[in-house]
Amino acid sequence: MKIGIVCYPTFGGSGVVATELGMALADKDHEVHFITYKQPVRLDLLAKNIHFHEVFVEEYPLFHFQPYELALSTKLVEVVLTHKLEILHLHYAIPHAYAAYMAKKMLTKKGIDIKLVTTLHGTDITLVGSHPTYKAAVEFSISNSDAVTAVSNNLKKDTLRLFNIEIDIDVIYNFIDIDKYSNKKDKECNRTTLANENEKIITHVSNMRPVKRPMDVIEIFYKIQKEIPSKLLLVGEGPEIERLEYRVKELGIYDKVLFLGNSDDVNKVLCYSDVFLLPSMTESFGLAALEAMAAETAIISTNTGGLPEVNINNVTGFLSDLGDVNEMAKNAIFILENNERLETFKANAFKQAKTFSIDKILPLYEGVYQKAIEK
C-alpha cells in the first residue's frame, strides 16, 4: 500500500508510535510517506520505502498565528497526487484529522478518493480535544474519517463519552519492538557507571508536563531512597524541569538524581532500570511504561486512563490512586527490598510487554487500512 503518515515529530508518544509504525510498514514493503513540519526524531530516513515531506509555513507579518493546518492540507494534496497515496494515517486528531478532511475534499474535486484513518492518542481527546475551543472541529473530523482507532479501551470509552461520534472505533494498543529493549544482559548496559553496586535504579521518562506529575516522581523517590540505597534517572525535558531541580535541591538529594534531558535512545537508559515511576494524572495507554516493561522493569503507576490495561497490579508492578505518593513509595520499596521479588516483577513485566509486540499489532493496522480502502 502507499501510505501517508501525519504526526507530531517531536518527543511524545503519538510521534513515536507513528514513526515506529511507519518504519515497520516500510519494512514490510509498503511505501510510507511522512508528512510533517520536521523530521520525526526516531525516523531512519535512509531506510527502504521511507520518504519525508516537510510542511513549510510561510510567515506573514499580518498573521498573529501562522496557519499550519492550511499549509498541511495543501501539502497533503500535493503528496497524495504526486505519489498516488491510497491512505492518509493521521496520528493525533488535532489538527491532523481536520487538515486531512480539507485535503480529502480538495482531492474529491480532482476525482481522487483518498482514505483517512485517524488514530486517537489521548490528550487529543481527554485534555485538549474536548475543550470548547476545539470540540466541534474534533468531533466533525473524527466522524468524517474513513476509519478511527484508539490506543486503549479506556480511550475509546472516553471518546464516546465526550463526543457524539458516528463511526466505529477500533482499539489498537501501542506496540513495542521487543528486541530493541531487551538488552539488560548486554556488555553496554554497565550499570556501575551510574550507580554503586548496592544501589537500585529508578527511572522516569516523560516530557515533564504537569499531566505527567513529575513532582510526584520526586516525592516518591525521596521516600524510596530513605529505605533503599538508590538513584533516580530522569529522562526528558519540559515545563516542570526547573521546579523539579529546585525541589531536588530543597530535599538534599541532588547527588542521587540525574537529569538526563531528552534522549532518542531511551532503550539504552532503560537497560539500567529496576523500577519505573509513572504517576500520571491521565494516560490513555502509557507507552513509556510499556517501553520500560520491555526493558524488564517493574512499574509503579497510577490507575488512571488505560494504565490498568498495561500494568497489571501485583504482577508487573502496582497501581495506585492519583497523588497517593505514600502508597506508590511503599509499593516500590516492597518490590525493591527483596531481590528475588524484584526479579519476579521484572520477568512478569517483560512477559506482559511481549503481548504488545509489533508483529502482533502491525497486522491490525494493515487490516484497518484494507477496510478503509474497500469502503
For ligand GMT, the binding residues (CB under 6 A) are 12-15, 17, 92, 121-123, 151, 174, 207, 211, 282-287
CB of 322 to ligand GMT, least distance (A): 13
Q: Which residues pair with 200 in a beta bridge?
A: 230
Residue 93 CA to residue 284 CA, distance in Å, equals: 14
Nearer to ligand GMT, 173 or 272 (CB): 173
CA distance 121 to 284: 7
Nearest distance in Å: CB 197, ligand GMT: 34
CB of 240 to ligand GMT, least distance (A): 13
The answer to whether 200 touches 336, Cβ cutoff 8 Å, is yes
**What is the layout of strands, in order, in the sheet containing 31-36?**
50-54, 31-36, 2-6, 87-91, 115-120, 147-150, 169-171
**Residue at grid coordinates 527502504:** 48
Please, which residue, 174 or 230, has the CB nearer to ligand GMT?
A: 174
Nearer to ligand GMT, 103 or 287 (CB): 287
Which is nearer to ligand GMT, 17 or 332 (by Cβ)? Answer: 17
- Distance of alpha carbon 275 from alpha carbon 298, whole angstroms: 5
Rounded least distance, CB 288 to ligand GMT, Å? 7
What is the closest distance, in whole angstroms, from the C-beta atom of residue 161 to ligand GMT in the complex?
A: 15
User: Using CA atoms, how far apart are residues 327 and 267, in angstroms rounded to an integer?
Assistant: 28
Least CB distance to ligand GMT at residue 176 (A): 11
- What grid cell was written down for 355? 503481548
Closest CA relative to residue 87, chosen from 31, 152, 150: 31
Give the Cα separation of 297 and 340 in Å (integer).
14
Name which of 107 and 208 has its Cβ closer to ligand GMT.
Answer: 208
Residues 300/220, Cβ–Cβ less than 8 Å:
yes
> Pseudo-torsion of CA 296, 153, 300, 327, nearest 10°?
-160
User: Cβ of residue 301: shortest distance to ligand GMT, in angstroms?
Assistant: 11
3 contacts 32 by C-beta, under 8 angstroms: yes
Torsion of CA 38, 264, 172, 35, to 10 degrees: 10
Quick one: 154 or 182, whose CB is closer to ligand GMT? 154
Nearest Cα neighbor of 297 from 335, 324, 259 is: 335
Distance of alpha carbon 41 from its chain centroid, rounded?
13
Q: Which is nearer to ligand GMT, 40 or 286 (CB)?
A: 286
Q: Pick the closer one to ligand GMT by CB: 345 or 356.
A: 356
Side-chain half-sphere CA neighbours of 73 within 13 A: 16
State the Cα torsion 94-304-174-360 to the nearest 10°: -140
234 strand-pairing partners: 204, 259
Q: Which is nearer to ligand GMT, 14 or 297 (CB)?
A: 14
Between CA 9 and CA 42 the distance in angstroms is 9
Q: How far is the CB of 128 from ligand GMT (least distance, A)?
A: 10
What cell does 224 get? Answer: 524510596
Residue pair 299/315 in contact by the 8 Å Cβ criterion:
no
Q: Which is nearer to ligand GMT, 106 or 128 (CB)?
A: 128
Compute the least distance from the CB of residue 251 to ligand GMT, in Å: 25
CB of 17: closest distance to ligand GMT in angstroms? 5
